[in-house]
Amino acid sequence: MPDFLPGLPADQILAMLGKAPGNELKSGKFDSPESSAALAANAFGWFLERPEMFPQLPGGMGQAKSVSIEAEMRFPWAGGKHPWLDAAIVTDRYLIGVESKRYEPFRPAKKNEFAESYDRKVWGENMEGYTRLRRTHANGARRFAALDDVQLVKHAYGLRTEGQRRNLRPVLLYLYAEPGTWANGRAVDPDRIAAHRADVKLFAESVEGDEVAFAEMTWAEMLAIWGRGKMPVAEHAARVAARFGPL
C-alpha cells in the first residue's frame, strides 16, 4: 500500500491507478522518490471527494464540479490506445485535462511518435496549430529539446474529442515542476530547466487560438493558489510541498 498523504480516499485512488496503463503500482515506479504519478495522485486525489474545495484556476474557468485522476480522453474511434491524463477537472463550461511533470523534462528524452491513424481528418477545423506540430514532427523535424510535444498533441486531440462529447470547452493544462535538485541531492542542470521553459513558451505560441486552449503553470504556482484557499486546502498544499518538494 503506497503511503498516501492524510485525507485521501486510498481505495478510490488505488482503483483509478489500477485502471490506467503504465503499471505504476506493480512496477514500483509509484514508490520512487522522483515519481511524478505519486505527486499528481496525492495532490489531486485529496479533491476527489471534495471538488467544491478546489480553488478556481486563473482564466475564469469556474468552480470545479468534479475532480478525477488518471482520466482517459478517448479518440473518435474504438480501437488502439487513447490518452490518459494525470487529472481532469470539470466545471460548468470547461473540461480541463492536466498533464503533470516532475523530473521527466530534465531526463534524456524518450522516443515518441505518431501512428498513421492520426492523419485522419477528424480533429475539426480549429486544431491547426496542434496539427502543424504533428506534421512537423512526423516529417522529421524536432523543434523541442525538453518537451514531449507528441504526448501533448495526442492529449489535445483526446480532449477535443471528449469536449465535443460532453459539450464542454477543452483546456490542456501543462503543470510542471522546476526542482533545483534530484532526489539524491544532485543539482538539476539549470540549462535544462531553461530549455524546458523555452519549449513550453514555443508550444503555447504554436497552438494559440486553437479549439483546445493550452495553459501552463508550475507546481509552485499551483500550490500557491491552493495555499490561499480555505484552511484545509492550504494545509493540504503544505503537506504536498513538504512530501514532494522541491517543486
pLDDT tens for the chain, residues 1 to 247: 788 999 999 999 999 998 887 767 666 678 889 999 999 999 999 999 999 999 999 999 999 999 999 999 999 888 888 999 999 999 999 999 999 999 999 998 888 888 888 888 899 889 999 999 999 988 878 789 999 999 999 999 999 999 999 999 999 999 999 999 999 999 999 999 999 999 999 999 999 999 999 999 999 999 999 999 999 999 999 999 999 988 9
Spell out the domain ranges in the chain.
10-244
H/E stretch holding 175 reads strand 169-176
CB atoms within 10 A of CB 239: 16
Q: How many Cα neighbours within 13 Å face the side chain of 206?
A: 19
Separation between Cα atoms, residue 104 and residue 155, nearest integer Å: 17
Residue type present at position 120: R
Residue type present at position 59: G
Q: Structure pTM?
A: 0.95
Separation between Cα atoms, residue 220 and residue 179, nearest integer Å: 10
Q: Which among 68, 35, 36, 38 has a CA at the least distance from the CA of 51?
A: 68
In the block, which residue shows the cell 529539446?
145
